[in-house]
Chain A
Amino acid sequence: MNKNNLEKAALGFAIATIISLTWFWSIQVGWVIETLEMAYG
């Protein structure tokens, strides 16, 4: 793959990763907060 295509692939992968990991970690943190609320009110 040439450099321009690799740069495009890198940016596409980066955007997809940032979106999916933000979603993933927000769910995990949400679960932790929910558990703490159940435990401590």
Chain B
Amino acid sequence: MDLYPFFDWLDTSLLADISKAYGGVFAVVQMFHLLGISMLGGMVLVGDLRLLNIVMRDIPSEVVIENTHKWFNVALVIIVISGIFMSSAVALKLYYNTMFWAKMASLAAGVVFVYAIRRPLLKFDHATIKPTTLRMLAITSILIWFTVAASGRWIGFS
């Protein structure tokens, strides 16, 4: 499926007009994007390091996962909305950027992983889940979200 028509449309959309013409608006939206990334990264690290038994050992992991997941959702919504706005400013450039597609692929993998596997599995009592599975779940989660953030940063250098 060729997504070029979508990027072509985005490049000439109202969003693109605003993001290209008003540097101040772009900067504020970018600030929210970075805020969302740091919030998402923080929630991922706290939840996964708890699953690895590294931090907050005195708090049940179910409680930590439940609380971090709420803010993970908020952060993801902020990131996606601000990300669409920011990408409208350089839509066609991004279409031809390999690292952008690496970021999108890892983001898609992360979303599928969180909502189809991690979240449903961690709704069960963690004591009934094999420790190896919990550790693999945490390591995979950290790796995926690190890749999303790092490949996103790499876009600026490629």
Contacts and interface: CB of A to CB of B under 8 A. Distances in A.
B128 A3 contact: yes
B102 A10 contact: no
B136 interface: yes
Secondary structure dominating the interface of B: helix
- Of the four ranges (under 10, 10 to 19, 20 to 34, 35 or more), the interface on chain B belongs to 20 to 34
Nearest to B128: A3
Interface string B89-128: 0000000000000100010010001001110110010001
A10 B143 contact: no
A13 B154 contact: no
B144 A10 contact: no
Contacts of B102: 24
A17 B143 contact: yes
A33 interface: no
A6 B137 CA distance: 11
Interface residues of A, number: 15
Given A7-B129, A9-B117, A11-B133, A18 B140 contact: yes
A38 interface: no
A24 B147 contact: yes
A6 B121 contact: yes
20 contacts: A1-B120, A3-B128, A6-B120, A6-B121, A9-B117, A10-B117, A10-B121, A10-B136, A11-B132, A13-B117, A13-B140, A14-B139, A14-B140, A17-B113, A17-B140, A17-B144, A18-B139, A21-B143, A21-B147, A25-B147
Interface of B: 102, 106, 109, 113, 116-118, 120-121, 124, 128-130, 132-133, 136-137, 139-140, 143-144, 147, 154
